[in-house]
Structure 1
Amino acid sequence: MKQNTSLNLECRGLLRRSEVLKLTGLSKSTLYRLESSNDFPSAIQVSARCVAYRLSEIYKWLEGRN
């Protein structure tokens, strides 16, 4: 039986890019710009076609904006 990839990542404290965009309210281009200028946590390569972000780092980034 195939497991849901997003659910599996969430159990590990990781979020897919689409989930990060929803959580932060950022656009995709803004996310890429912030990430390339090291003003946003870097994505980690989960597989050949999948990147994810550590949820703890996203929360720290959000707290730092307030």
Structure 2
Amino acid sequence: MTNPCDCDIRLIRIDEVIEITGLSRAAVYRMIQKGEFPRQVRLSVRSSAWVLQEVREWAFSRVSPTGLVD
């Protein structure tokens, strides 16, 4: 199976999402419901993960050009 975008995709679990963003577990899921955070990818019936690059892009979008949070 080949990757159509020819790039590495790394999936991360909720604990790493929390570490990267500084958000609580509840805040992550609340923001997903509001459409304000990347949705998780379903891996199986009881397992999901996030695309690392999407979480990083979200985090970078939260920082203004001066490096201060808006």
> Could you say whether these structures have the same fold, taking a TM-score greater than 0.5 normalized by the shorter chain as the test?
yes
Deviation at 1:12, TM superposition (A): 4.4
Q: 2:20 aligns with which of 19, 23, 27?
A: 23
Provide the aligned C-alpha RMSD in A: 1.3
Gaps of at least 5 residues in structure 1 are 1-10
Aligned partner of 2:3 in structure 1 is: none
The answer to whether structure 1 residue 34 and structure 2 residue 31 are counterparts is yes
Cα distance in 1 for residues equivalent to 2:19 and 2:60:
16
Cα distance in 2 for residues equivalent to 1:36 and 1:23:
19
Give the number of the structure whose residues are more often helix, by fraction: 1
Mapping 1:3-18, distance limit 5 Å: 12-18=9-15
Cα distance in 1 for residues equivalent to 2:19 and 2:46:
20
Percent of paired sites with the same residue: 34
Structure number with greater Rg is 2
AA paired with 2:37? F
The C-alpha deviation readout for 1:1-57, integer Å capped at 9, x for no partner, is xxxxxxxxxx84000011111111100111111110000000010111110000010
TM-score when scaled to structure 2?
Answer: 0.74
The answer to whether structure 1 residue 43 and structure 2 residue 40 are counterparts is yes
